[in-house]
């Protein structure tokens, strides 16, 4: 189980646009601005996830991939955290799940607060990939965390005081 700091252009976000709760976003944003640590964002490597995409999604993803070659990881949880970190101009500290044992190890970090208890911890690596395939079949488009954040800024989908924070 590896932890790595990533840029928002390296992470493919979930299609939950715009984010659901500005209060949670504000809480994370304020923590980022004062330098407090926030929980790790779980990601899967693109090369693993693609194996579980059906043909329809592969075609859409291939077009996205051509334009976004640095996007190497799929986020499986953490839209509020990644948006807050991006707005605060911070790197995104992630935990990479490459095998089922990584998920088992991550469960142990819930008690420390480094990982948030969420549904991704209740699934195997394969199951998480299959969930992503289903997710992108329901909403067949891809964006990086950076693209999603910029879109939320442009469309004013964020609290007013956050709109001018990210360049």
pTM of the model: 0.95
Asked if residue 116 belongs to a domain, the reply is: yes
Q: pLDDT of 2-20, one tens digit each? A: 999 999 999 999 988 888 8
- Residue 167 has a pLDDT of 63
Q: Beta 92-97 vs 2-6: how paired, if at all? A: antiparallel
- Domain limits for position 98: 2-159
- The answer as to whether 167 is a domain residue is no
Residue 87 belongs to a domain: yes
Assess if residue 165 is contained within a domain.
Answer: no
Geometric angle at alpha carbon 154, from 152 and 160, rounded to 5°: 70
Is 120 among the domain residues?
Answer: yes
Q: Is residue 164 part of a domain?
A: no
Q: Is the peptide bond before 18 cis (omega within 30 degrees of 0)?
A: yes
Q: What is the pLDDT of residues 104-123, one digit of tens each?
A: 999 999 999 999 998 899 99
Q: What is the mean pLDDT of the chain?
A: 94
Domain annotation covers residue 82: yes
Q: Backbone phi, then psi, for 67, in 5-degree steps? A: -90, -15
For the stretch 56-99, pLDDT in tens is 999 999 999 999 999 999 999 999 999 999 999 999 999 999 99
Structural domains counted in the chain: 1
């Amino acid at each position: 189980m590896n932890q790595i700091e990533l840029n928002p252009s390296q992470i493919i976000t979930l299609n939950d646009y715009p984010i659901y709760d500005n209060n949670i976003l504000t809480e994370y944003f304020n923590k980022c601005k004062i330098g407090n640590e926030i929980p790790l964002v779980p990601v899967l490597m693109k090369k693993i996830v693609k194996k579980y995409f059906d043909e329809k999604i592969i075609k859409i993803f291939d077009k996205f991939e051509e334009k976004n070659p640095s996007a190497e990881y799929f986020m499986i949880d953490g839209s509020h955290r990644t948006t807050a970190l991006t707005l605060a101009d911070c790197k995104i500290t992630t935990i990479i799940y490459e095998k089922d044992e990584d998920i088992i190890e991550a469960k142990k970090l819930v008690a420390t607060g480094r990982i948030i208890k969420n549904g991704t911890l209740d699934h195997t690596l394969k199951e998480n990939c299959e969930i992503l395939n289903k997710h992108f079949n329901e909403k067949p488009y891809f964006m990086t965390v950076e693209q999603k954040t910029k879109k939320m800024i442009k469309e004013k989908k964020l609290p007013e005081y956050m709109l001018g924070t990210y360049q």
